[in-house]
Amino acid sequence: MIPAAFRNRSVPRTAAPGLLALALAAALPAFAAAPINETRPLDPLGSVEIDNVKGSIQVRVWDRPEVKIEGSLGDGVEKLAIEGDKQQLSIKVRYPNRGSGIGFLAGGDKSEPSDLKITLPLRARLDIDAVSANVDVNGVASRELKIDSVSGDVVVAGAPREASIESVSGDLKLTLNSPKVAAQTVSGDLELRGRLSGEVSVETVSGSVDMSAYESSLNRISGESVSGDLRIAAALNSGGEIGLKTVSGDVRLRLPRSLSAVVRGESFSGDLRAPDAQIQRPKHGPGSSFEQRYGSGSGRVRMETFSGDAELALE
């Protein structure tokens, strides 16, 4: 019952809109993000595909034969689509304008970012597709890890047998214990660490590449850039190959003093440096080159630039 003292009182008309605005503002956070809490069975060697355009994707591992899906869907998102079976599972955040492609990238979609936290079996194959979502993967030891991103940053720590990771403008920070790695950026920087073996391929246009794998001994290393610098530190197996090419970027290659390889360097207008190497320059016209044998010369190393400098250091 309303007390008699308040029965004839009314809220001033000027106060009502303000009170309504405050009430709506207080209620908005409750509707801004829809929580996610789903679980699906998955074979320990099954496959998981994750697709999120904006927000974040976090992946962790456990020893259970199932996938835990947590996080939150941003306001305006169409739905979270979970499809497939225990052999192959698809997890996709569907946005209203995603189907139009151009309209989405042009800013036609006004939905809020979504955050996904996925826990899956240690050895499950993982395929991630992101646009502006940041990606953080830790602990995976699958047969294959594949990540495609446009502008989001990608951080990975794991031991997949094969890793293929690409980004356009986002940075890649990778710590991998893997026998086969391919990493590529356009303008983002690429940092690669870990106990690598087998083959490594790194490519960039204007970003820099920093690969440090002193505890690794590889069969093949290839690196290419346009204006980005290539900084590579590793060891080469007997009979192994290294090929590094840039246009205007610099190349700095660090290898052990026990190197056994024939090293060749070539540049149009950049400077070349290598221990004990005699740099050859033509009498007429630009260009320089060298060829130097280290140890028994079982491997092959080639450094090529157009206007960038190239240096080999033995440490």
Same domain as 313, residue 184? yes
Query: 72 with 193, same domain?
Result: no
Instruction: Indicate if 200 and 120 belong to the same structural domain.
Output: no
Q: Are residues 89 and 214 in the same domain?
A: no
Mean pLDDT across the chain, nearest whole number? 89
- CA dist list (Å): 17 to 20, 21, 28, 51, 85: 5, 6, 16, 42, 51
Judgement on whether residues 197 and 312 belong to the same structural domain of the protein? yes
Indicate whether 190 and 120 sit together in one domain.
no
Q: 44-80: per-residue pLDDT in tens?
A: 999 999 999 999 999 999 999 999 999 999 999 999 9
Which of 130, 146, 162 lies at the terminal end of a domain, its last residue? 146
pLDDT (average), residues 204-220: 93
Residues 132 and 181 in one domain: no
151 lies in a domain?
A: no
- Which residues are 127's β-sheet partners? 49, 146
* Domain enclosing residue 248, as ranges: 171-315
Percent with pLDDT over 90 in the chain? 81
Residues of the chain with pLDDT > 70, as a percent, come to 86
Answer whether residue 11 is part of any domain. no
Which one-letter DSSP state was computed for residue 206? S
Structural domain includes residue 16? no
Instruction: Indicate whether 245 belongs to any domain.
Output: yes
Q: Is residue 264 part of a domain?
A: yes
**For residue 122, is it within any domain?**
yes
**Would you say residue 27 has pLDDT above 50?**
no
At 215 the pLDDT is: 78
Instruction: Give the tens place of pLDDT for each residue, 88-139.
Output: 999 999 988 654 344 445 455 678 999 999 999 999 999 999 999 999 999 9
Say yes or no: 177 and 309 in one domain: yes
pLDDT of 98: 56
Contact 159, 140 (CB under 8 A): yes
- On whether both 303 and 203 belong to a single domain, the answer is yes
Read off φ and ψ for residue 236, nearest 5 degrees.
-115, 130
Are 175 and 43 in the same domain?
no
Please count the structural domains in the chain.
Answer: 2
